[in-house]
């Protein structure tokens, strides 16, 4: 209780610059606060009623002064805007080569699917020194994935994927919070993010038993679960994996570009696959009939993530 830090740990590539920006703004705030307080103080003492002072011809306005306190704050505000926009675009633009993690938020837990298909609940392990992108979706209400040590957060919405990315710099264990109010146990929707040294991360990744408890009765691997689901939902009767049938083959499909019936093109990514499961008529690939039924309400967001993981694995 008697230990009172002023800053969260700096554990991502952004943290240093965000903190520097913060202190610059603290400086601006201090400057203007002191300026105003000084004016109040000096005038209060000097012109207290009953105290002798020169009060002749008190000015009622001064356009030059007005210009000064319009132009200087405006300049400072625009400089703040410029710097903040730069940081914002860095925070929102992941590099090309990122490690992808899926996150599903639901009242009141976080479920993650790692790049190898393994699950984690309220915990996430990432390697230091590597850019990680989290693709997030909510099963129910609004949530927000927040890593104070990385100085980043992003709302997690139902119905569409949002992303955040970071590159952790310092091995350790840090807070993971839900920052968007989501009901009864909002403050319990918390976890830990473990940043591991790259070699420790490889060891951790190789630990075959690690996903079992988090899998919730499944196989412990999203790719395997996705393959099972693919059969259960009889997707495979149309989407033959080895040949073109009445529906497009899915082998090597992820990340490729397809031409749609209306002549436009689309990159096959998570959002497209999700849309094609929930609302199959929305974007039909050229040369195919619009005959796939909707799976809306029949698959959870987690299952869609499993299907995506499976489709991604089809090389």
Partner 1 sequence: MSGTTTATQTATASTATMPAKHFMNAKYGLKSWLLTRDHKRIAVLYLITVTAMFALGGIYAALIRLELLTPGGDFLSADAYNKAFSAHGIIMVFFFLLPSIPAIFGNFLIPIQVGAKDLAFPRINLLSWYLYVIGAALALIAIVAGGVDTGWTFYPPYSSQYSQSHVLLAGLGVFIAGFSSILTGLNFVVTIHKMRAPGMTWFRLPLFVWAHYATSLIMLLGTPVVAITILLLAVERVFGVGIFDPAIGGDPVLFQHLFWFYSHPAVYIMILPAMGVQSELVAAFARRRVFGYSFVAFSSLAIAIIGFVVWGHHMFVSGQSMYAGLVFSILTMLVAIPSAVKAFNWAMTMYKGSISYETPMLYAIGFLGLFVIGGLTGLFLGAMGLDIHLHDTYFVVAHFHYIMVGGAVMGFMGALHFYWPKISGRMYPDAWGRLSALIIFIGFNLTFFPQFIAGYLGMPRRYYMYDTDFHFWNLMSSAGASVLAVGYIMPLFYMAWSWIYGKPAGPNPWNAKGLEWTTQSPPTTFNFDETPIWNEEAYDYDPEESEAEYEKEFGTIN
Nearest approach, Cβ of residue 285 and partner 1 (Å): 24
The DSSP string of 268-306 is --HHHHHHHHH-TTSSPBTTS-S-PPP-TTTS-HHHHHH
Residue 171: name the closest of 194, 149, 153 by CA: 194
Rounded Cα distance, 219 and 225, in Å:
6
Rounded Cα distance, 204 and 218, in Å:
20
Query: In this structure, how many other beta carbons lie within 10 angstroms of the beta carbon of residue 116?
Result: 13
Nearest approach, Cβ of residue 312 and partner 1 (Å): 23
Residue 174: name the closest of 136, 126, 206 by CA: 126
Nearer Cβ to partner 1, position 143 or 312? 143
Nearer Cβ to partner 1, position 163 or 313? 163
Nearer Cβ to partner 1, position 120 or 144? 144
Between the two ends of the chain, the Cα-to-Cα distance in Å is 54
Kindly state the tokens that stand for 283.
């974007």
Nearest approach, Cβ of residue 259 and partner 1 (Å): 26
Phi, psi of 284 (to 5 degrees): -90, 130
Rounded Cα distance, 150 and 237, in Å:
45
Nearer Cβ to partner 1, position 193 or 223? 193
* Residue in the structure block whose two tokens are 């919730």: 216
Nearest approach, Cβ of residue 22 and partner 1 (Å): 6
The CA-based angle 5-6-10, given to 5 degrees, is 90
Going by the DSSP 8-state scheme, the letter that residue 49 receives in this structure is T
Nearest approach, Cβ of residue 263 and partner 1 (Å): 26
What's the gap between Cα 311 and its chain centre? 23
Nearest approach, Cβ of residue 111 and partner 1 (Å): 18
Kindly state the tokens that stand for 5.
């830090």
SS3 247: coil
Nearer Cβ to partner 1, position 188 or 287? 188
Nearer Cβ to partner 1, position 3 or 207? 3
Nearer Cβ to partner 1, position 245 or 299? 299
Nearer Cβ to partner 1, position 73 or 198? 73
Buried b (16+ CB within 10 A) or exposed e, 255-277: eeebeeeeeeebebebebbbebb
Nearest approach, Cβ of residue 251 and partner 1 (Å): 31
Nearer Cβ to partner 1, position 33 or 256? 33
Task: Determine how β-strand 99-106 pairs with β-strand 131-138.
Answer: parallel
Nearest approach, Cβ of residue 40 and partner 1 (Å): 6
Nearest approach, Cβ of residue 228 and partner 1 (Å): 25
């Amino acid at each position: 209780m008697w230990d009172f830090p002023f800053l969260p740990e700096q554990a991502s590539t952004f943290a240093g610059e965000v903190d520097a920006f913060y202190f610059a703004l603290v400086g601006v705030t201090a400057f203007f606060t002191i300026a105003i307080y000084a004016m109040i103080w000096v005038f209060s003492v000097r012109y207290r009623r009953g105290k002798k002072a020169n009060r002749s011809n008190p000015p009622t306005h001064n356009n030059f002064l007005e210009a000064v306190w319009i132009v200087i704050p405006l300049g400072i505000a625009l400089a703040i805007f410029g710097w903040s926009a730069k940081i914002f675009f860095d925070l929102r633009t992941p590099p090309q080569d990122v490690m992808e993690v899926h996150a599903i938020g639901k009242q009141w837990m976080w479920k993650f699917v790692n790049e190898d298909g393994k699950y984690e609940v309220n915990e996430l392990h990432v390697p230091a020194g590597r850019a990680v992108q989290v693709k997030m979706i909510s099963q129910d209400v609004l949530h927000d994935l927040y890593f104070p040590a990385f100085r980043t957060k992003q709302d997690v919405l139902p119905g569409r994927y949002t992303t955040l990315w970071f590159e952790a710099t310092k091995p350790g264990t840090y807070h993971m919070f839900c920052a968007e109010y989501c009901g009864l146990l909002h403050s319990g929707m918390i976890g830990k993010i473990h940043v591991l040294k790259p070699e420790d991360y490889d060891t951790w990744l190789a630990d075959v038993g690690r996903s079992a408890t988090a899998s919730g009765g499944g196989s412990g691997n999203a790719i395997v679960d996705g393959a099972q689901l693919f059969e259960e939902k009889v997707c495979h009767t149309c989407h033959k994996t080895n040949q073109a049938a009445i529906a497009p083959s899915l082998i090597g499909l992820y990340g490729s570009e397809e031409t749609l019936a209306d002549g436009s093109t689309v990159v096959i990514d998570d959002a497209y696959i999700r849309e094609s499961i929930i609302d199959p008529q929305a974007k039909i690939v050229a040369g195919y009939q619009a005959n796939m039924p909707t799976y809306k309400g029949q698959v959870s967001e987690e299952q869609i993530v499993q299907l995506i993981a499976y489709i991604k694995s089809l090389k």
